Amino acid sequence: MSINNQVFLWRIFKAGWQDIFAAFKRYELAGVLGWQDIRQRYRRSSLGPFWITISMGVLIGALGLVFGNLFDTPMKEFLPFLTVGLILWMLITTILTEGCLGFTAAEAIIKQISLPLFIHILRVVWRNLVIFAHNIVIYPLVLLVFCLPLRSTAVFSALGLVLLLLNLSWMALLLGVLCTRYRDIPQIVSNLLQVCFYLTPIIWMPHLLPKRAGLILLDANPFFHLIEIVRAPLLGTLPSHFSWLVCGVLALAGWCITILFYGRFRSRIAYWL
Amino acid sequence: MTHICMNNISVDFPIYNTTGRSLKNQLMQAATGGRMGSNEQGRVVVRALQNVCLELKEGDRVGVVGHNGAGKSTLLRVISGVYEPVEGSIQIKGKITSMIDMSLGMDGEATGIENIYLRGALLGFNRKWLTSKIGDIVDFAGLGDFIRMPLRTYSTGMQMRLAFSIATLVQPEILLMDEWLTVGDADFKEKAHQRLHEIVQKSSILIIATHSPELVKTICNRTIRLDRGSVMNI
C-alpha cells in the first residue's frame, strides 16, 4: 500500500471515529429523542409501553403452544427457550430495520442542525433497548410459572448483551448509510431478516437438527451466535468459546470496516436525503 | 475572535430520481434555481453554490439577498455545517446558532414543559440547566398554566412564542437567520423584537437571508447578492 493510500485511510478512519465519539458525548440528546419516540407511540394509552410486554407475551404464548406441541418438546424446556430467543430476535430485527431508516427518518433534523450523525443510530438502538427492557420482564414470569430457578450463569448474559449491542450498532450504522443512498435496501434487509428468523434456532431447538445441517445452520450463522451469547447463560448453560469468538471478531472487524466506510461517506448523507 | 473563511466553495446536489438529461439544456436557462448539469459520472446534479469566496469577521452583519433558489439557504446550511462543500474549504471560529427552524423537533402531543426539554436537548442544553430556566421561559412566553398542556392545544402563535423563548435563551456568537422573526400578537411582537435586537446586537457575526431591502438597510453593514449559486457583489 502506498503512503498516499495509508494517509487517506487514516484520514477517513479519523473522520468516522470523531463523529461517533462526538455522538457518544451527546448521549443525552439520543436518550431524549429515543424516549420521545416511545412516548409518542403510546401517548394517551392507559397501559402505555406495557402494551409491548402484553403483545409479546401473547405472541410467546401462542407460538409456544403451537410449536411446543409440533416438535413434541416439554413446555418446561421449550417455553423459556422460546421466550428469550423471541425477545432477542425482536431486538435484533427492530434495530436493524429501523437502523436502515435511521437517517432518512431524521431528515428534518439532519438538514437543519449540524450534529454528529451517529446520534440518530444511537437513538434507534436506545429506543429498542428500552422496548427490550419492557419485554424481558416476561422471562422471570415464565420461570415463575414453571417453578424454574434463575441460574447463576445469567450474569454472563449481561456481557453477551453488550457484545450483541456492539454488533448491532455497527450493522445499523452501515445499513443506515447504505439505505440513505439506495432506497431499495430496507426492503431487502427486512426480507432477509424474515428468512433468517426461520434459519436461526428461535422457534425450534438446535438439538432437533440432524448433524450435517447443524454445521451450516448453527456454526455458520452469525445470528445464532449473537443470540446464543445472551440466551444460553439465561437458560443456565455457558455459550461455547466458539460463539464468544465469532461475536468478538464480528464486532471488531465490523466496527473497523464500518468506521472506514462511515468516515468516507458521512458527509454525503445530508446530500442523499 | 470569531471568524468565517470560505475558500472557493461549490455545492452540488445529486438528483437520483430524474434521468432528465435531454431536458438539461432547456432547464439550464431557467430563471430561478441553481444550475443544472451533470457530473463526471453522468449523473444529474444541481449546482447550488459555485466558487463562493467569503471572509467574515467580528462585527459583520451580513444580509444575504437573491431571488428564490439563488442559494441563500444552502449558503446558510454550509456555514452551519449541515452540508460539507463538495469543493473548496471552510474554516469557522466561534459557536454557530441557527434560528432557521425554531420549532424543529417539537411534538404536538407532548406538554409545553416536555417540549422545552425536547427542543433544549436539540439545541445542546442539558437537562439540569433547562430545569433552572423553565421559569424564565414560561414568563417570557407568557403561557402561564398552558405550559402543562399538550402543545396541540396551543394556537400557532402560542407555539411560536414558546419556540422563540427557548431559541433565544443563550447569546449566540455566530447567528444564522432566515428572515427576521416576527412572532405572536402585537404585545409579544414588541417584546420579541426587542429581545431579538439585543441578541443580534451582541452576536459577533450575523448572517441573515432576506428578501427585504429595508431590513438590510436597518441592521446589516454588508450585503451579499447571490445569483444562481454565485456571489454577484459584496
Farthest CA pair distance, chain A: 64
* Residue closest to A257 by CA, chosen among A170, A164, A189, A167: A170
Flag whether residue A271 sits within 8 Å of chain B, measured between CB atoms. yes
Chain A: give the shortest CA distance to residue B112, in Å: 14
How would DSSP label each residue in A234-247? HHTSPPPHHHHHHH
Chain-chain contact of A29 with B117 (C-beta, under 8 angstroms): no
Query: What is the percentage of chain B residues whose pLDDT exceeds 70?
Result: 88
pLDDT digits (tens, 9 = 90+) for B61-120: 889 988 888 888 899 999 988 998 888 888 888 888 888 888 888 888 889 999 999 999
Shortest distance between the Cα of B210 and any Cα of chain A, in A, equals 18
Q: Are A262 and A16 contacting, i.e. CB atoms less than 8 angstroms apart?
A: yes
Contacts of A11 in chain B (CB under 8 A): none
B87 touches chain A (CB under 8 A): no
Q: Which of B177, B212, B207 is nearest to B63 (CA)?
A: B207
| Chosen from B10, B13, B16, B82 to mutate, greatest number of chain A CBs within 10 A | B82
Say whether pLDDT at A206 is over 90: no
Contact call for B82 and A114, based on CB within 8 A: yes
> What are the grid coordinates assigned to A268, written together?
454525503
CB A17 within 8 Å of CB A259: yes
Mean pLDDT within A141-158:
89
Contact call for residues B145 and B173 (beta carbons, < 8 A): no
Among residues A74, A228, A107, A91, which one has the least CA distance to residue A172? A91
Are B14 and A271 within 8 A, CB to CB? yes
B119 contacts in A (CB within 8 Å)? none
Tell whether B81 is within 8 A of chain A (Cβ).
yes
Region A227-246: mean pLDDT is 93
Q: What are phi and psi of B47, to 5 degrees?
A: -90, 110
CB contact under 8 A, A32 and B109: no
Separation CA A135–CA A133 (nearest Å)? 5
Residue A111's closest chain B neighbor by CA?
B82
The structure's pTM equals: 0.89
Binary contact (B121, A29; C-beta < 8 A): yes
Number of neighbours of residue A37 by Cβ within 10 angstroms: 18
Q: Give, in degrees to the nearest 5, the angle at Cα A272 between A171 and A93.
A: 25
Q: Within an 8 Å CB–CB cutoff, is residue B41 touching chain A?
A: no
Which chain A residue has the Cα nearest residue B96? A114
Residue partners of A237: CB distance under 8 A and separation at least 6: A153
| Nearest residue in B to A182, CA atom | B16
Q: In this complex, is the C-beta atom of B92 within 8 Å of any C-beta atom belonging to chain A?
A: no
Most A-contacting residue of B122, B127, B149, B166 (CB-CB within 10 A), to test interface: B122
Nearest-CA distance from B142 to chain A in Å? 25
Chain B CB contacts of A272 below 8 Å: 14, 16
Of A78, A82, A118, A79, residue with least CA distance to A102: A118
Note whether A113 contacts B110, CB cutoff 8 Å.
no
Work out the average pLDDT over A137-160: 90
What per-residue confidence (pLDDT) applies to B33? 63
Quick one: average pLDDT of A221-238? 93
B47/A80 Cα distance (integer angstroms): 59
| Predicted confidence (pLDDT) per residue in A36-45, tens digit | 998 888 888 8
- Best of A38, A112, A115 to disrupt the B interface (most B CBs within 10 Å) is A112
Question: Best interface-test mutation with B: which of A11, A113, A126 has the largest number of B CBs within 10 A?
Answer: A113
Show residues of chain A in contact with B16, CB under 8 Å. Answer: 272
Gap between the Cα atoms of B165 and B162, Å rounded: 5
- Residue-averaged pLDDT of chain B: 84
Of A20, A220, A33, which Cα lies nearest the Cα of A117? Answer: A20
Interface of B with A in 106-135 (CB under 8 A): 107, 109-110, 117-118, 121-122, 124, 126-127
Q: Is A184 on the interface with B (CB under 8 A)?
A: no
Contacts of B107 in chain A (CB under 8 A): 36, 40
C-alpha span between A170 and A184 (Å, rounded): 20
Predicted confidence (pLDDT) per residue in B5-25, tens digit:
888 888 888 887 655 444 454
**pLDDT of the residue at B37:** 67
Q: What number of C-beta contacts closer than 8 Å exist between A and B?
A: 57
Residue of A nearest to B100 (CA): A112
Q: Phi and psi dihedrals of B62, rounded to 5?
A: -105, 125
Q: Please, which pLDDT band fits residue B2 given cuts at 50, 70 and 90?
A: confident
Name the grid cell of A56: 409479546
In whole angstroms, give the CA distance from residue A266 to residue B103: 26
Asked if residue A132 lies in contact with residue A98, where contact means CB atoms within 8 angstroms, the answer is no
Chain A residues within 8 A of B101 when measuring between CB atoms: 108, 112
Taking 70 as the threshold, does the pLDDT of residue A74 lie above it? yes
Grid cell at residue B137: 421561559
The DSSP code sequence of A194-228 is HHHHHHSTTSS-GGGS-HHHHIIIIIT-HHHHHHH
Among the partner residues A40, A113, A270, nearest to B122 by beta-carbon distance: A113
Least confident of A4-8, B31-35, B217-221: B31-35
